[in-house]
Amino acid sequence: MSLVLPSEIVIERFMPTARVMLAGELDERGFTQQEIADRLGVTQAAISNLINDNVDVEPRFSEDERMQATTERIADGFESGEMDEVDALAELLALIREFEDRGPICAVHEELMPELEGLGCDLCVRGPESQMLAERDVLQSVRRAARLLTGTDAAVEHIPNVGTNIGMALPDADGPTDVAAIPGRIYRIRGTAERAANPEFGASEHVARTILLVNSEDDDIGAALNLATSDALLDAARDRGIDPLAFDAGYEGRDDRLRERLADRETVPEVIYHRGEFGIEPVTYVFGETAVDAAELAVDLVEDVAGGK
């Protein structure tokens, strides 16, 4: 009996097939061989081999619609700038997990180890990974939301002096360590919005607390970001049918007061704000089910403000 690990199949068959397919997709979109090499983490000579069909592919992978869709999605993301190498890695890891769970990796594995036939791949399907997958999805959403906000010129003037943060909570989060956000926040630097780092869990205090509090009132809300409060921004929200909720900025007893204000509403609004007080800058929170949802609404609002000037 030959001992073959699923990881060997990933390395020896899945990754070469993925690289061939991605290289082909990027080549069709006009990327140079060096640009493709930089994206895929291989040499330019290796890309030449990939494009010229000098690398064997596994047809059970390449002919699978899920793999075709994934490679097209990654290539589109690279082309538009909406996806980076970390996003691509997340997409491929998710696909590998699908393929390992009674999928084509299982078929190849059973072919190489016939003794596995009939076991339903239960040896390889790892136990409950839902937490790990949820963490990956949350981090990915925050990262994409940050890229969306920093890539919107109109957002720059709405970043408060204390900085903007974007956060998203895990399902059933019970503390700030279950909320992913941007370490160091997003700041205005020479007329542009710049983020200090990629998202991490436990990287926020104020945004995380606000998300958790609002989520306790409405579990459909799992994410938020903060902007500078302005009449123009609040008017843009009202023009979109949102009735912003005002609350007291003071830190002492703040959570209880905010809960009381939320209790006055039948539904939690997507925008809440305060006007600040001594030592506290006026801040508006924009909410969404995911970080991307919150960022998309925030971008709509700041672009409405810019268009109205």
Distance set, CA 98 to CA 7, 11, 67, 102, 161 (Å): 14, 16, 10, 8, 44
200 φ/ψ angles, rounded to the nearest 5 degrees? -140, 155
Q: pTM for the whole thing?
A: 0.65
Same domain, yes or no: 285 and 184:
yes
Task: Decide the pairing of beta strands 192-195 and 245-246.
Answer: unpaired
Let me know if residue 136 belongs to a domain.
Answer: no
b/e string for 90-129 if b means 16 or more Cβ within 10 A?
Answer: bbbebbbbbbbeebbbbbbbeeebeebeeeebeebeeeee
Same domain, yes or no: 55 and 162:
no
Res 174: pLDDT: 87
Same domain, yes or no: 119 and 172:
no
Same domain, yes or no: 25 and 97:
yes
Let me know if residue 81 belongs to a domain.
Answer: yes
Residue that terminates a domain, selected from 70, 100, 127: 127
Task: Decide the pairing of beta strands 271-274 and 245-246.
Answer: parallel
Res 114: pLDDT: 78
Domain count, the chain: 2
Q: Rounded to the nearest 10 degrees, what angle do helices 65-80 and 85-100 cross at?
A: 170
**Which is nearest to 224 in space by CA: 207, 245, 201?**
207
Same domain, yes or no: 163 and 120:
no
Res 167: pLDDT: 97
Same domain, yes or no: 181 and 301:
yes
Residue that terminates a domain, selected from 77, 92, 127: 127
Same domain, yes or no: 292 and 214:
yes
Let me know if residue 221 belongs to a domain.
Answer: yes
Distance of CA 237 to the CA centre of its chain: 24
Residue 33: how many CA atoms within 13 Å on its side-chain side? Answer: 10
DSSP letters, 1-62, are: -----HHHHIIIIIHHHHHHHHHHHHHHTT--HHHHHHHHTS-HHHHHHHHTT-S---HHHH
Q: Residue 264's domain is classified under what CATH number? A: 3.40.225.10
**Which is nearest to 245 in space by CA: 305, 302, 286, 301?**
286
Same domain, yes or no: 147 and 45:
no
pLDDT < 70 stretches in the chain: 1, 116-132, 309
Task: Say which residue the tokens 């690289």 belong to.
Answer: 19
DSSP letters, 234-251, are: HHHHHHTT--PEE----S
Task: Say which residue the tokens 């890229």 belong to.
Answer: 147
Let me know if residue 132 belongs to a domain.
Answer: no
Same domain, yes or no: 15 and 122:
yes
* 151 token code pair: 């890539």
Maximum Cα–Cα distance across the chain: 74
Res 309: pLDDT: 61
Let me know if residue 133 belongs to a domain.
Answer: no
Let me know if residue 72 belongs to a domain.
Answer: yes
Res 113: pLDDT: 83
In whole angstroms, what is the distance from residue 149 CA to residue 186 CA? 9
**Which is nearest to 4 in space by CA: 94, 96, 117, 108?**
108
* 292 token code pair: 């991307």
Let me know if residue 135 belongs to a domain.
Answer: no
Same domain, yes or no: 204 and 145:
yes
Same domain, yes or no: 157 and 230:
yes
Let me know if residue 192 belongs to a domain.
Answer: yes
Residue that terminates a domain, selected from 92, 127, 162: 127
b/e string for 244-269 if b means 16 or more Cβ within 10 A?
Answer: bbebebeeeebeeebeeebeeeeeeb
- 156 SS3 class: helix
Range of the domain at 169: 141-308
Q: Other C-beta atoms within 10 Å of 169: how many?
A: 26
- 100 SS3 class: helix
Same domain, yes or no: 296 and 149:
yes
